[in-house]
Amino acid sequence: YKYTIVDKDTCIACGACGLTAPEVFEYDEEGIAQVLLDNNQGTSVIPDDLIDDVLDAYEGCPSDSIHISDTAFHGSPASGQ
């Protein structure tokens, strides 16, 4: 299983991830990305049919703010393995 979270401290609101994976990433009122699956807690397993989109978004993020892990993040981008 894979989990994802956005580090909102490093996201530069470039807007790419929501175009690449609109079913996973949305933006707050300042344009900073967040995971819509779990309110950016990194606790929801990414559905199988969305993993490719998440990987594309991960690779395309210019500030490396999208984190992916085999374990849940529990709200902290630094907590994944």
How many CA atoms, within 13 angstroms, populate the side-chain half-sphere of residue 14?
Answer: 16
Does residue number 17 form part of the binding site for ligand F3S (CB under 6 A)? yes
Does residue number 16 form part of the binding site for ligand F3S (CB under 6 A)? yes
Sites for ligand F3S among residues 49-68 (CB under 6 A): 61-63, 65-66
What whole-number distance in Å separates Cα of residue 51 and Cα of residue 29? 26
Give min distance, CB of 70 to ligand F3S, in A. 20
The span of 14-22, 36-44, 47-55, 68-76 binding ligand F3S (CB under 6 A) equals 14-22
As separate numbers, helices (DSSP H) first and strands (DSSP E) second, the chain gives: 2, 4
Give min distance, CB of 18 to ligand F3S, in A. 7
Does residue number 15 form part of the binding site for ligand F3S (CB under 6 A)? yes
In Å, what is the CA distance from 3 to each residue of 34, 53, 58, 77?
13, 13, 12, 11
